[in-house]
Amino acid sequence: MNSKNRKILIILIIAILVAAAGGVSLYLYLTPQKTTVYVFNSNYESGTALTEKMLTPIRCDSKIVTAGKTADVKSRFITGSELTEVLNSGDHLRMDVAEGMPLTRSELFVNGGSDIEKNIHAGMIAVTIPLDSVTGAADGIREGSHINIYATGYDDSVGTTLLFQNMSVIAVERSEKGTLTSATIEVDAEQSLKLINAQNNSTLNLAVVDSTDYQYTDEETPTYNPNK
């Protein structure tokens, strides 16, 4: 093979290699990269410890479009590379989840969280009511109980107002003797302001109710006035 033919052959080989490399690059560019995300395989309640058995892996594109912008899947969801770390940290659910929901960090809180964090639902507020000799409370109040909250002298009233109905108790504290010392109630933002104001400016009584068959009053906050 003479020198001229050798040069032509080398050029052809280089051209083929460049074309092959370009083809591979184009294929990789046009083919979406995949990653693994996880969805819940059943319904689970807030406070449940996260385990691998609760999850089903799903392959999806590593890029997603939200609000017209492209973002990494891992910026929204927990991916395969992060799952082991999450499971080892002992995270719990901070909210109820339904079958098919994707696993995200917003659904979790770390193992070091308090019992209140484990029980409270997303978007809600935990308000703790200290209980003393002035405040009346049914001794049967426990975590998970539902209660009515009555306020005497609320809003300059001389009577008693049914302030809140069928509210969820997410935590209680007791003294060494077993006496109830506080109850933590789950409320929304507006209710929290109303409850704290009543706590500071009236006498509260808490009464346990049957949440299943509870009958709400026609009035939102009925009041009994002994002078009428």
Based on the fold, state whether residues 150 and 129 are members of the same structural domain: yes
Instruction: Answer with the one of 53, 88, 113 that is the final residue of a domain.
Output: 113
Based on the fold, state whether residues 85 and 56 are members of the same structural domain: yes
Based on the fold, state whether residues 131 and 108 are members of the same structural domain: no
Question: CA–CA separation, 142 vs 127, rounded Å?
Answer: 15
Question: What is the three-class DSSP state of 197?
Answer: helix
Based on the fold, state whether residues 177 and 218 are members of the same structural domain: yes
71 vs 51, higher pLDDT: 51
214 vs 72, higher pLDDT: 214
Summarize the confidence of residues 143-152 as an average pLDDT: 89
Closest CA to 162 of 213, 227, 225: 225
Number of domains the chain is built from:
2
Output the domain CATH number for residue 101.
3.90.1210.10
Strongest mean pLDDT among 9-23, 57-71, 93-107: 93-107
Based on the fold, state whether residues 134 and 220 are members of the same structural domain: yes
Quick check: is 3 in a domain? no
User: Beta strand 203-209 with 136-137: parallel, antiparallel or unpaired?
Assistant: parallel
Whether the predicted model's global pTM rises above the 0.95 cut? no
Domain limits at 89? 34-113
Which CB contacts under 8 angstroms, 24+ apart, belong to 90-93? 90/49, 91/49, 91/50, 92/47, 92/48, 92/49, 92/50, 92/118, 93/44, 93/45, 93/46, 93/47, 93/48, 93/50
Q: How many beta carbons lie within 10 A of that of residue 93, not counting itself? A: 21
**Residue 163 clears pLDDT 90, i.e. is over it:** yes
Instruction: Answer with the one of 113, 133, 165 that is the final residue of a domain.
Output: 113
Instruction: Answer with the one of 113, 133, 150 that is the final residue of a domain.
Output: 113
Length of the chain: 228
Question: CA–CA separation, 100 vs 117, rounded Å?
Answer: 24
Q: Under a CB-based contact definition with an 8 Å cutoff, are residues 186 and 122 in contact?
A: no
What's the CA angle centered on 30, arms 60 and 83, to 5 degrees? 25
